[in-house]
Amino acid sequence: MTTFALRTASPAKTKAEAVVVGVLTDGTLAPGGEAVGEAYGRKLSGLLATLGLKGRPGEVAKVPTAKVIASPLLVLVGLGDEATPDAVRRAAGNAARAVTNAASVALALPADSPALVRAVVEGWRLGGYTFTSYKSKPGTPTTPAEVVLLTPAARRADVAAAVEPAQVVVDGVVGTRDWVNTPPADLTPPAFADAIGAAVKAANKDLPAGGRIKVDVLDEQRLDELGCGGLLAVGSGSAAPPRLVELTYAPKGAVAHVALVGKGITFDSGGLWIKPAASMATMKEDMAGAAAVVQATIAVARLGLPVRVSAFAALAENMVGAASMRPGDVLTTYAGTTVEVTNTDAEGRLVLADALGRAVEREPDVLVDIATLTGHMVLALGDKMAGVLGDDDVVAEVLAAGEAAGEDAWPMPIPEFYDERIRSSKVADLAQYDGIRWGGGIFAAAFLREFTGGLPWAHLDIAGPTFNKGGANGHVAPGATGYGVGTLVELVRARAAAAPSVPS
Ligand code: BES
Ligand code: MN
Ligand code: ZN
């Protein structure tokens, strides 16, 4: 893991193998890089022109400095019009992949506020992320173990204090990416449950006795005893049985209680309503919600936030087998509600129904679920942004958290008439799906709402932003993105900050 050392030194005088500076669209070097601009003087604009740099996001150029500054290599990255945290996160990510072979690097990107320092740390580490566990020759890491972050504000306590929490969030995003990228044969529900147990155990080692996370893994027998008909039905076609993993982080003096529920379909073939082959290609991603709630819970505990977190990872594999659930089957969820299965590919809502039922029993102040739930949401909002549905105030809370975390999300409504659509089954309480494509992402949310016990609730449909099928851009690597961890951690952080302080 890369560490970051803050220094006030001038980027023109700092001797590193490479110095990274931002370029704005007005042709100036971004804050933090002024000294480099002064060293180049009037030659700067000509240099940028020769390089074809316009300061746009995504631009990167590497320039031998010929001793104009102390470091031999200058890396210029486009920032756009303004050095916002989002722009800096992206630019730092692009820089991380451009610096391919340097034993020492100094980042002179805008970093004179806690939000900007956070953006540099996140961007650099996430942009440089690669998943090499399955490469027989992974190669040696080419970025240095320690990066120097140059900022005139290095001695400010709030700025210096921003590094560590950013690292914790990045660890959670990286952990999520690793799990999502893992081949589905190696991350079956039991294997994933084991991996969660191991991750929590590792995190607990560094946590104070009162601030550790408790893990309960419910296996198929236990799920049967409890009547988790959704998880059992979805898992019935797989050789690997389902699991429900329940995490509890209950620090002393908690000022709020947040429940997080994640969809953990370790592979979604569609079941008997089998998916077209092309749609199945990346369906190892279908456990990303579960990965995000677990990693967010670990991050919250490591940050020591005074909020109780109850997290639920609903794990099953949706496969074709002799015992697969069939269209026409009726299952009974944990809460006792009966559901007619109409499309075996709408499996996410079935496992979430059980997990939400379990979460409601903990009586949290707020309930948030996160799931790669519907292709409909990808059609509605594109593949870079989550849809957020539920109670208006909780939706607003999630959107604000997403904003702070640099994760794009957009509100979607649940119009009243969906209540009728979800009740259109002639044999069971609820129809799992009514076969009408229009508003399918909304239907799914209306369905989930039935299992929220009337608690304040929001649902994040992350089917779009979870997996990047294209190349790297900014801090977003190819494959798993780790979307959601940042938003969930921010949500908990905001709850902690908003609560009336308890007299100590
Ligand atoms: N896991 C998929 C949704 C999905 C689609 C995730 C694309 C990531 C990228 C989900 O289980 C599914 O198959 N949904 C169906 C729902 C339908 C049958 C009601 C869909 O989107 O078509
Ligand atoms: Mn499906
Ligand atoms: Zn699915």
500 pLDDT more than 80: no
pLDDT of residue 503: 56
CA-to-CA distance for 123 and 396, rounded, in angstroms? 26
**pLDDT score recorded for residue 501:** 65
Q: Is-contact 46 37, C-beta < 8 A? A: no
Does residue 263 carry a pLDDT above 70? Answer: yes
Ligand 1 nearest-atom number relative to CA 347: 11
* pLDDT tier for residue 138 given thresholds of 50, 70 and 90: confident
Q: What are the residues whose beta carbons fall under 8 Å from the beta carbon of 500, sequence distance 6 or more?
A: 255
Please give the distance, rounded to the nearest whole angstrom, from the Cα atom of residue 345 to the centre of ligand 1.
7
| pLDDT tens per residue across span 3-44 | 999 999 999 999 999 999 999 999 999 999 999 999 999 999
Ligand nearest to the Cα of 279, by number: 1
- Predicted confidence at residue 169, as pLDDT, reads 98
Quick: pLDDT tens for 221-236. Answer: 999 999 999 999 999 9
Which residues are near ligand 1 (CB < 6 Å)?
268, 285-286, 343, 345-348, 372-376, 378, 433, 440, 463
Name the 3-class secondary structure at 177. Answer: helix
Nearest ligand 1 atom to the CA of 268 is 1
Question: Of 445, 221, 437, 184, nearest to 319 (Cα)?
Answer: 184
Share of the chain above pLDDT 70, in %: 99
Give me ligand 2 centre to Cα 178, in Å. 22
Single-letter amino acid, residue 454: G
56-60, 79-83, 498-502, range with the lowest pLDDT:
498-502
Counting residues of the chain whose pLDDT is more than 90, the rounded percentage is 96
356-to-30, 148, 420, 459 alpha-carbon distances in Å: 47, 45, 21, 11
pLDDT band with cut points at 50, 70 and 90 for residue 369? very high
Q: What is the pLDDT of the chain when averaged over all its residues?
A: 97
Active site residue 495: no
Kindly tell me the number of DSSP H helices and DSSP E strands found in the chain. 17, 19
Average pLDDT over residues 456-472: 98
Nearest CA to ligand 1 atom 14: 374
Phi, psi of 82 (to 5 degrees): -145, 145
Would you place residue 143 in the very low, low, confident or very high pLDDT band (cuts 50, 70, 90)? confident
Q: Where does the pLDDT of residue 141 fall: very low under 50, low under 70, confident under 90, or very high at 90 and above?
A: low
* Model pTM score: 0.98
Question: Active-site residue 349, yes or no?
Answer: yes
Catalytic entry in 177, 243, 349, 495: 349
Predicted confidence at residue 499, as pLDDT, reads 83
Ligand 2 mean position, distance from CA 343 (Å): 9
434-448: average pLDDT: 97
Please state, in angstroms and rounded to a whole number, the distance separating the CA atoms of residues 428 and 445.
Answer: 18
Residue 337 has pLDDT above 90, yes or no: yes
Compute, in angstroms, the gap from residue 111 CA to the centroid of ligand 2.
Answer: 43
CA distances from 490 to 163, 392, 404, 427, 482 (A): 16, 18, 7, 42, 14
Atom of ligand 1 lying closest to residue 273 CA: 18
In the prediction, which pLDDT does 377 show?
98
Q: Which of 274, 345, 383, 437 to mutate to test the pocket of ligand 1 (most atoms within 8 A of CB)?
A: 345
pLDDT in tens, 67-82: 999 999 999 999 999 9
Instruction: Provide the pLDDT for residue 502.
Output: 58
| Catalytic hit among 275, 326, 362, 384 | 275
The DSSP symbol for 88 reads: H
Q: What's the pLDDT at 387?
A: 99
Task: Answer positive or negative: Cα dihedral of 229, 235, 240, 242.
Answer: negative
Q: Give me ligand 2 centre to Cα 134, in Å.
A: 26
